[in-house]
Amino acid sequence: METNVLEGEKLKQAIAIYKSGKVAKKQLRAETLKKRKKFLLRFEKFLSTVDWVFNEETARGFIGSMRTRKDGKPSALTSIKTYIGDLRAFNRWCIDQRYLSVHFTQWIPKPPEAETMPEPVLLQGDIIDKAIILGTTPGRFDNKKTRFIKNESRIVQQFLRKTGRRRSEVFTLRGSDLHPDDVVPSYWYTQKGGKRTSRPIPADMIDEMRKRQHKEKVFEVTPETTIKHLRDGLKAQGIDEKIVNHTLRKLFAIERNNHGETIYDIAQVLGNTIKIVERHYLSNDISKIADTVNNSMAIRNGLSIEKNIDTAMKNLRNIFKGSRYQKVRLNMKDGMIVFEIPLTKEGKKELESSE
């Protein structure tokens, strides 16, 4: 017989166990438990008004009650989407623990993705790099503590920018996780889901990480502070965008893809599947489409000479990328593009054998 209702003391018992996180398929992160308890606080308050009955009707009633804020204004659709997701997670857990046998919350529709997904902010890498510096540059009257926090914020933002890590993976790093003197200098971190994994320390940050390997926390600053400094750096450039630390992760994936790295390798670094990288990190990159759109004489005629030369030099660099030529320098001299092409060892042997 299908069980499609959970009520009374049995429901209270299920909520208490679910809240503790002790009965789970994998160890839950502190942040996940915190969000779960926040949801259950609201859910329990609602259940007390419906005699502690959890079924499809009361589940819909709970979501309905969440559509209006305390001040009478409608709740954001993203909040409604989150509540439905939380409710479905609890329903699935109850099924796993044999409290229920019907996943009735799946029939509560989430708001359309087009109405809940914010437009992605994909700024150029040099703009982000400049924002990191500008937002963390000490002011004239900053005290010692503020200067320390800004320096920490700059270093952690650069680490996020160069590793592609999630903020939860970086802000929980301990000094003992750093191994700057290994054959391949590396750090260990806890992935989303609880798995422990190691990744290389960026080559230009090895010395900085060596200084931090005996600290309790590697970075002594909060995620919220780093976001504020990043946004301050953008505002200093006249850009008012509400970007977050995760933006640096998306930029990491897009840049590596544009530099010729395979999606498989990018997924390995990020700790994601190829499917997720393609769908969530690279799908919004329109740089290649832009090349197609701008491949028109009508557009080129409307551009300045300097802009057309920049485009030509970019295309030439792409031609030489991955060839036997180690490095191609393209410079402007007397209105002409000058090539400086040092050969690799193989290229030199080929040239000598042809003479």
117 pLDDT more than 70: no
What CA–CA distance (Å, rounded) separates 227 from 207? 25
- The pLDDT assigned to 70 comes to 86
What CA–CA distance (Å, rounded) separates 117 from 286? 18
Among candidates 328, 322, 352, which has minimal Cα distance to 342?
328
Q: Name the β-bridge partners of 227.
A: none
Q: When comparing pLDDT for 257 and 177, which is higher? A: 177
What's the average model confidence in pLDDT over 185-204? 91
Among candidates 150, 122, 151, which has minimal Cα distance to 246?
122
Show the tokens assigned to 154.
Answer: 């700059």
99 pLDDT more than 80: yes
Residue at 32: amino acid letter:
T
Residue at 290: amino acid letter:
A
What CA–CA distance (Å, rounded) separates 63 from 256? 41
pLDDT category, 325, cuts 50, 70, 90? very low
Q: Name the pTM for this structure.
A: 0.67
- Say which residues have a Cβ less than 8 Å from residue 38's Cβ, sequence separation at least 6: none
- The pLDDT assigned to 38 comes to 94
- The pLDDT assigned to 221 comes to 95
State the first-to-last Cα distance of the chain, in angstroms, to the nearest integer: 87
